[in-house]
Chain A
Amino acid sequence: MDKLVFELPVSSTFDIERYDVAGHAEATARVYSHKGEWLQGPIQVTSPSGPRYTIGVFSLLDNLNSAYVDVRHTLLASPAAPQGFVPTINVHPNGWNQGEVKLVKAAVEKTWRELAGLIHCAFDVYGYHDIRVGAGSGSSSALVQAAIRATAADFGVSLRSEKLQSIHSEIERGADPLHLTKPAVVATRVNLGGCARPLGERTPRLTAVTWNAGSPVRTTSVKFEYSEDELLLWKVRWASLERAIRFDDDDRVARLATESARDNQTRNPKVDFELLEEAVASFGAAGFAVAHTGSYHTALFPADTAPAKLQAYVARVRSQSKGNNPVRGTVVDVQEFDTAQATERRFAQ
């Protein structure tokens, strides 16, 4: 046991490490978040009662921010847990809020019950994340998934995706598709991010300029209501997205994201939306995306956009954003990155 608790492992989708000595084991897991939904709308899936609609999401899975959880279990005196035993879980929050502590505790307990419920033990949990809460980047999902994975690894188990989803669904009703290893449209509200439409291997290559605009948004406060004709429009959009991603039409992906964002603006209006429109109208962006139930904005530029043009837009956002801070000119977290590279780094194992 000579590992530094907060040492950051190399980048990958789910970094898991495990150390084991007699009576005591430790494992860590890292799960990356995302920058909101590029497209979000109704999608038809197969359910036990036939075809039904749920909410489908296509997100860019980057490697910019992550949740990191370290779980250690210590065996108690008697080896088998008595009936009705509930393990003590000491969470040592490192900037986590009360809700996050509760989620992590629930994740550790449910994972233990599912995988190692006969083992009589107690837990210490450490960790941190640098994901903005309520911005639509899946902070709670990342944290829960990291806690589940770390707990499973603590008992020497490498979880299948289905098992992870099953445990996760007992903790959160909806979850972000952070477990993916390839681009896909996922049904976030059903089977916790089950793949609704695989989109092949390739990630769109665009240059993203991302910033946080506005206050945290509670996903549960957003009303998801659509007319039947809107359901049909979304069938066309998902088909169009599938073609665009499979056949390298990155501009079309950006345009589809823009249409989804504009639709969303009528349901869940955001500040700084005019800055996104301005990116297309005046700065040569191919489109833009918003975290539909969050506050991240992303302007999407063609990959060959001149750096000077990008910097001009970043400067514009920094000076004009009304979202991040009440005083203009203090936006600090504008991030610029190549979308494909960010995804490739995340998926690299």
Chain B
Amino acid sequence: MIYSSVREAARQPRLIYVSQKDHPNLIAVSFEFMKRIPASFCVERALHPPANYTLDPSGFFAAVQAPANASVHAATFERAGDKRLFLETSSGNMATGLAEICQQLKIPLLLLVPSEVDETTRKNLVELGARVEVIETMDQAQRVERLAELKQEQESQGWRVCWVQQYTNPNNRSSYWEVAEFLASELDRIDTLVAPVGTGGSSCGTAHYLRKAGFPRLKLVGVDACGSVNFDHEFTEFLMGGLGSTVTMPLVDHTAYDVVHWVDDVTAFAASINLFNQGLSVGGSSGAAFVAARHEASKSPDDVVLVFFPDHGRRYADSIRSDSWRRANNIDLSKAKNQPIPVTHPDQSDPSRPGIDAGWYRIDWRTYQKSKPSVHAR
């Protein structure tokens, strides 16, 4: 395939039979940086806010008005002249995606990056032209608080600031139309989509479009970090990046998921290293997704199961794949789980509760949700 632009080529995933011998029904959708997709789309939408379109007498659609629920993130930014600035916090991949697109469009970018983010990634962000401020916490609430201050500071200096707000920006979710288009073009069947859940953008966005484009019975399996608050757990520490959350994510639509897996760091990292040893370098979130997807593929051998691998593993040589880092963080790969523990209620898998260990758990989310529809409907 010849791509129409460098940007398009960089966003396109590869489809890989990742475990063909044991799971011939399992296909990985492997991205170099999946976050390039929402980064690029959010920036473009900020520069060109969405409109409604109506058919005019010439036979073409013409923009008539901004929709009532138009993203506030785009407000007036397109008319801001040259002194425009994008702002965001990210633990790595969204930051890289934004830095790339802002460099291409020659728009300044200010990033608030946690100190845990590796030096190579930070250098790469600077090389791409971003201004980087380091914050000594991974806690999303504190980062958001600091971002609000930064926004105010920049505005007082005359900048028109667009805070991308990937956690709440609906364009994050909408951006995955192009992944759905790619999958619908390439595959005859898609029965199950297994996706790591961080902001909820990729899983909910892709499933939304696929379900309305010929795959109405698509089963969506969300993969969360054990300790994340995305699916009715209280927060407890976890190391994985790229999935899980310490705060409620508005883009996680609980009604979209059929099954949820909570995967602990050890199990996810072990799977990621196994994939690396097979020649596929991916991060920890891909490892978590892979174990969940293998389980679903075994459980439903007649279904075609897709699994998202959101990023390349080159960032993780000094962490997940480093013996010393794993020792320092008490990660013993021999303790990786082979099977999920089935649960019927999130409390049964919540490591913040006494007597419950971080581990790998699986819940039929839709059944659980039906028992509490008023709590989860959004």
Contacts and interface: CB of A to CB of B under 8 A. Distances in A.
A52 interface: yes
Interface string A228-257: 110111011101111110010100100110
B216 A259 contact: yes
B213 interface: yes
Contacts of A216: none
Most B Cβ at <10 Å: residue of A173, A174, A231, A244:
A231
A113 to B, nearest CB: 23
A-B pairs with lowest CB-CB distance, top 5: A189-B59, A228-B50, A240-B184, A224-B55, A232-B177
Contacts of B186: 243
26 contacts: A54-B55, A54-B60, A174-B59, A190-B60, A224-B55, A225-B64, A226-B52, A226-B54, A227-B67, A229-B177, A233-B209, A233-B212, A233-B213, A235-B177, A236-B180, A236-B213, A237-B213, A239-B181, A239-B185, A240-B215, A242-B185, A243-B185, A249-B188, A255-B215, A256-B213, A259-B216
B53 A226 contact: yes
B51 A252 contact: no
Contacts of B184: 236, 239-240, 243
Most A Cβ at <10 Å: residue of B53, B58, B67, B177:
B53
B59 A54 contact: yes
A247 B187 CA distance: 10
Given A231-B53, A240-B213, A42 B180 contact: no
A228 B51 contact: yes
**Number of contact residues on B: which range applies?**
20 to 34
Contact of A42 (B50, B53, B57): B53
Given A226-B53, A227-B67, A233-B177, A173 B59 contact: yes
Contacts of B214: 237, 240-241, 244, 252, 255-256, 259
A230 to B, nearest CB: 8
A225 B60 contact: no
Interface in B266-291: none
B60 A47 contact: yes
Contacts of A173: 57, 59
A52 B216 CA distance: 28
B210 interface: yes
A281 to B, nearest CB: 13
Contacts of A232: 174, 177, 209
Interface string A247-277: 1010010011001000000000000000000
B56 to A, nearest CB: 10
A226 B213 CA distance: 16
Interface in B33-91: 50-55, 57-61, 64, 67
A6 interface: no
A342 interface: no
Given A233-B213, A240-B214, A259-B212, A226 B61 contact: yes
A189 B50 contact: no
B210 to A, nearest CB: 7
A233 B61 CA distance: 16
Contacts of B180: 236
Contacts of A237: 212-214
B59 A190 contact: yes
Interface string B188-220: 100000000000000000000110111110000
Given A227-B52, A256-B213, A240 B185 contact: yes
A324 to B, nearest CB: 29
B217 to A, nearest CB: 9
Contacts of B60: 47, 52-54, 189-190
Contacts of B213: 233, 236-237, 239-240, 256, 259
B185 A225 contact: no
Contacts of B209: 232-233, 236
Given A54-B55, A189-B60, A240-B213, 20 more contacts: A55-B59, A190-B58, A224-B55, A225-B54, A225-B64, A226-B53, A228-B52, A228-B67, A229-B174, A232-B177, A233-B213, A235-B177, A236-B180, A236-B209, A239-B213, A243-B184, A243-B185, A252-B214, A255-B214, A255-B216
A318 B219 CA distance: 36
A223 interface: yes
Interface of B: 50-55, 57-61, 64, 67, 174, 177, 180-181, 184-188, 209-210, 212-216
Interface in A168-216: 173-174, 187, 189-190
Contacts of B215: 240, 255
A307 to B, nearest CB: 27
B212 A54 contact: no
A251 B214 CA distance: 9
Contacts of B50: 227-229
A239 B183 CA distance: 9
A223 B55 CA distance: 8
Contacts of A42: 53, 61
Contacts of B185: 239-240, 242-243
Contact of A236 (B187, B188, B210): B210
A174 B186 CA distance: 33
Contact of B188 (A54, A189, A231, A243): A243
Nearest to A189: B59
Contacts of B64: 225
Contact of B53 (A225, A244, A259): A225
Contacts of B187: 243
Contacts of B61: 42, 52-54, 224, 226, 231
A302 B185 CA distance: 22
Contacts of A223: 54
Nearest to B68: A227
Interface string A45-67: 00100001111000000000000
Most A Cβ at <10 Å: residue of B55, B64, B67, B181:
B55
B181 A228 contact: no
Given A53-B60, A54-B60, A190-B60, A235 B181 contact: yes
A53 B57 CA distance: 13
Nearest to A232: B177
Contact of B181 (A174, A190, A236): A236
Nearest to A47: B60
A125 B188 CA distance: 50
A193 to B, nearest CB: 11
